[in-house]
Amino acid sequence: MTEINSVTTLTHDGDVAVITLNSPPVNALSGNVRQGLYDGFKAAGASDAKAIVLICEGRTFIAGADISEFGAAAGTPTASLFDVQDMMENAKVPVVAAIHGTALGGGLEVALCAHYRVAVPSARLGLPEVALGLLPGAGGTQRLPRVVGVETALEMMTSGRHVPAPEAAKLGLVDELAEEGKLKEAALAFANKCVAENKPLVKISENNTKLEAARGKPEIFAAFRKANARKFRGFAAPEANIKCIEAAVNSASFDEGLKAERKLFGELMMGSQSAAQRYYFFAERQAQKIPGIADDIPLRPIKKVGVIGAGTMGGGIAMNFANVGIPVVIVEQQQAPLDKGLATIRSNYERSRTAKPEETAKRISLITGSLSMEEAFADVDLVIEAVFERMDIKKDIFTKLDAICKPGAILATNTSGLNIDEIASVTKRPQDVIGLHFFSPANVMKLLEIVRADHTADDVIMTSMKLSKQIGKIAALVGVCPGFVGNRILGQRQREAQKLVLEGAMPWDVDRVLYDFGFPMGPFAMSDLAGLDIGWVKEKSNGETIRDVLCEADRRGQKTGAGYYDYDENRNAQPSAFTEKVIHDFIVKSGANPRKIDDEEILERCIYPMINEAVKILEEGKAIRASDIDVVWVNGYGWPVYRGGPMFYGDLIGGPAVVLKKMQEFEAKMGDQFKPAALLEKLVAEGKKFSDLKG
Ligand code: 3HC
């Protein structure tokens, strides 16, 4: 065995040279890896090997370029990815890439420079650069459409989808599927076959057949852009990916296409969107790390889960566990709501069709119902309460759980803002009590706020964090405070949105500004969608707020055809003269003078107080680090990921000094609600950024 460098070895197996990479955790293409590959291929080429296999140790094949290198200062000069690719593609003997785990981004781009690819069925291949606000910058945009065709390349590159190996084999991306666990043997056998059969050294870059099929058909691109306009709104990267495939089709040569790719890659890399999306990639992973708790702390096994409440929330929560094979028992007080809840779960599964019918049936069978907590919860490892938001009801439930559940069971509440310490205080085991705040619809929304109460044990926190990953959620650990992190910050935006309307902006002005910023919808459109009458009681309504008056006029949102907006039969919203009059009457009654409010003020009034509140949350220790707040807002509240989150955005627009100045201005004009956080002033005094708040 020859040690090429610290992450690369070269061995020989008969006539085949085997280059093995071992750079945990994901064999990303850092400088060291590129140099190892370059030197490895050079040495293999100079040996008497008749074929070369590239294989990786650890959990995966190369998962892409090393994202942490992007935007960082250049280190010691090493071989570039292009040097490595040239060496592979122009090797004089067949090169076979042996793929397990994931071949993503630069990893797939390397594999596409091998003459052949062998993969185990569990492997996944893709070009996910778009999710980082980028495009494949090592020839992937030019090679992928040459293999899979233009339409499939458009879909794969703009979605970033990880394609399972069996599908990749059908697409021609993989030449042979190996038996699981026998990758090396299969790759060696394939390499020997190449030699024995004198198979050609296939260079993808030289095969234009699939591109020619799309030449002179701009309608392919026009139709793709049109069909995806909504999905791509606001993002720069999807369009740049499309342009690269257009360049592949229309360029006179592979090299000309590569030039277009390089140019567009450089533009994206320099832009703020990719910076935000790359930051966000690491923010999500950082959020899983809890200072003071070892990552390998022994976890509590979760083999069976209980849920209290068969409503929309309880049902959605239950589905998350059934989806990963964990049995769930739901408890309700009455048979009718229990039956209704279970029926809703069944129909959700049947409608969503995300799994094969037999898998769907299995998931449904894992969710059972009961009317008795005593019977249902004696053996559960985790119970999640998802009932009405009233402290007395929650306390009553937790008193019972304390008496029923086995020692060590985790007792969780899905409260969206009640004091969990108070809930825990009725039990004799506050160390087992935690908040698991799911977002509605709980089977769809990615965010999970995990709420640490005063006495919550470390292993309960870590078990919850790991469990969240198992059920496909993105978790952030937060502390007990009204509204926790997400809703507490949302409260600022809601308050300002309402106030702006009473000062002269129309709901559709506020909504438009926030929609253009990148949110999926503004607060008023959101209220109409959710129903204006949530929490509204007809008998107690006395026209005190705009919402009261709208509900009294039976304008309760989309479901009644009118709310803040008027809706046509297809639920298309139109500004409403009725709402405008209601607002006008309120302003007149208050004696205020409506004024013209420009878009800039609307945005600043909605966003700056959110950033200020986020800083207060950090000051109080209710979130660990600034980036956790961004994780909450991107995942749970539709903050556009290409703006990173409120904290990243705060730095992008100039940092704490800019936000402080604006808050001081607002405070002077409009009072205490805009009082800057003390920590904001401290950051400015110390010349720090929001991203310096790292916990
Ligand atoms: N660069 C640097 N670090 C990476 C990385 C990468 N490409 N991919 C993963 N990591 C790190 C993560 O930050 C994490 O580090 P941590 O343990 O310190 O938090 C560790 O590897 C493990 O990652 P995950 O927690 O995400 O592990 P999973 O097993 O859940 O997922 C994965 C593995 C599917 C490979 C996932 O990490 C992933 O999607 N990675 C990114 C893949 C990607 O986007 N590749 C394209 C990069 S851009 C590119 O190649 C440009 C080229 O065209 C020139």
Asked, as a colleague might, if the bond just before 656 is cis with ω within 30 of 0, I would say no
Distance of CA 638 from the midpoint of ligand 1 (Å): 23
Residue bearing tokens 């005593």: 374
Which atom of ligand 1 is closest in space to residue 65's alpha carbon?
Answer: 50
Distance of CA 101 from the midpoint of ligand 1 (Å): 12
Name the residue with the closest Cα to ligand 1, atom 1: 66
Residue bearing tokens 């007792």: 411
Contact 306, 276 (CB under 8 A): no
Distance of CA 634 from the midpoint of ligand 1 (Å): 19
Residue bearing tokens 């390998």: 296
The residues, ordered by sequence, that sit 6+ positions from 114 with a Cβ below 8 Å of its Cβ are 54, 88, 95, 96, 97
Q: Is the CB of 139 under 6 A from ligand 1?
A: no
Across the 695 residues of the chain, what is the mean pLDDT of every consecutive 10-residue run?
96 98 97 97 97 98 94 82 97 98 98 98 98 98 98 98 98 98 98 97 97 96 98 98 98 97 98 98 96 94 97 96 97 96 94 83 95 96 94 97 97 95 98 96 95 98 97 97 96 96 96 98 95 89 92 95 95 96 93 92 98 98 98 97 98 98 97 96 98 90
Q: Is the CB of 261 under 6 A from ligand 1?
A: no
Which atom of ligand 1 is closest in space to residue 68's alpha carbon?
Answer: 2
Which atom of ligand 1 is closest in space to residue 67's alpha carbon?
Answer: 1
Q: Is the CB of 105 under 6 A from ligand 1?
A: yes
Distance of CA 63 from the midpoint of ligand 1 (Å): 6
Q: Is the CB of 285 under 6 A from ligand 1?
A: yes
Q: Is the CB of 510 under 6 A from ligand 1?
A: no
Q: Is the CB of 160 under 6 A from ligand 1?
A: no
What is the Cα–Cα distance from 27 to 40, expressed in whole angstroms? 15
Name the residue with the closest Cα to ligand 1, atom 9: 26
- Largest CA-CA distance found in the chain, in angstroms, rounded: 92
Name the residue with the closest Cα to ligand 1, atom 10: 26
What is the Cα–Cα distance from 519 to 395, expressed in whole angstroms? 37
Distance of CA 653 from the midpoint of ligand 1 (Å): 28
**Substitution site in 67, 80, 265, 284 for ligand 1 pocket (most atoms within 8 Å of beta carbon):** 67
Which atom of ligand 1 is closest in space to residue 469's alpha carbon?
Answer: 30
Q: Which of 3, 69, 89, 109 is catalytic?
A: 109
Q: Is the CB of 104 under 6 A from ligand 1?
A: yes
Name the residue with the closest Cα to ligand 1, atom 53: 136
Cβ atoms within 10 Å, residue 39 = 19
Which atom of ligand 1 is closest in space to residue 59's alpha carbon?
Answer: 29
Contact 257, 248 (CB under 8 A): yes
Q: Position 269: which residue type? A: M
Q: Is the CB of 65 under 6 A from ligand 1?
A: yes
* 101: DSSP letter: S
Q: Which of 69, 89, 129, 239 is catalytic?
A: 129
Strands 328-331 and 367-370: parallel
109 is catalytic: yes
Q: What are the φ/ψ torsions at residue 230 (nearest 5 degrees)?
A: -65, -45
Distance of CA 553 from the midpoint of ligand 1 (Å): 53
Taken in order 295, 298, 304, 309, the sign of the CA dihedral is negative
What is the Cα–Cα distance from 70 to 514, expressed in whole angstroms? 30
> What strand order describes the sheet that includes 102-104?
102-104, 124-126, 163-164
Model pLDDT, residue 10: 98
What is the Cα–Cα distance from 528 to 571, expressed in whole angstroms? 11
Go through the domains of the chain in sequence order and give each one's CATH number: 2-269 (3.90.226.10), 305-480 (3.40.50.720), 504-590 (1.10.1040.10), 599-692 (1.10.1040.10)
Residue 471's alpha-carbon distances to 322, 392, 444, in angstroms, are: 9, 30, 11
Model pLDDT, residue 43: 97
Distance of CA 33 from the midpoint of ligand 1 (Å): 15
Name the residue with the closest Cα to ligand 1, atom 25: 285
Distance of CA 462 from the midpoint of ligand 1 (Å): 22
Q: Is the CB of 88 under 6 A from ligand 1?
A: no
Q: How far apart are the first and last CA of the chain?
A: 45
What is the Cα–Cα distance from 314 to 360, expressed in whole angstroms? 19
What is the Cα–Cα distance from 344 to 350, expressed in whole angstroms? 10
Q: What are the φ/ψ torsions at residue 364 (nearest 5 degrees)?
A: -60, -40
Q: Is the CB of 64 under 6 A from ligand 1?
A: yes
Residue bearing tokens 């990749």: 168
Model pLDDT, residue 342: 96
Kindly report the pTM of this predicted structure.
Answer: 0.95
Model pLDDT, residue 351: 86
Q: Is the CB of 106 under 6 A from ligand 1?
A: yes
Q: Is the CB of 289 under 6 A from ligand 1?
A: no
What is the Cα–Cα distance from 546 to 535, expressed in whole angstroms? 14
503 is catalytic: no
Q: Is the CB of 133 under 6 A from ligand 1?
A: no
Name the residue with the closest Cα to ligand 1, atom 38: 63
Distance of CA 26 from the midpoint of ligand 1 (Å): 6
Distance of CA 68 from the midpoint of ligand 1 (Å): 10
Asked, as a colleague might, if the bond just before 441 is cis with ω within 30 of 0, I would say yes
Q: Is the CB of 68 under 6 A from ligand 1?
A: yes
Q: Is the CB of 138 under 6 A from ligand 1?
A: yes
Q: Is the CB of 102 under 6 A from ligand 1?
A: yes
Listed in sequence order, the DSSP H helices in 126-208 are 140-148, 150-159, 165-171, 183-196
Distance of CA 296 from the midpoint of ligand 1 (Å): 20
- Return the axis-axis angle of helices 272-286 and 626-636, rounded to nearest 10°: 100
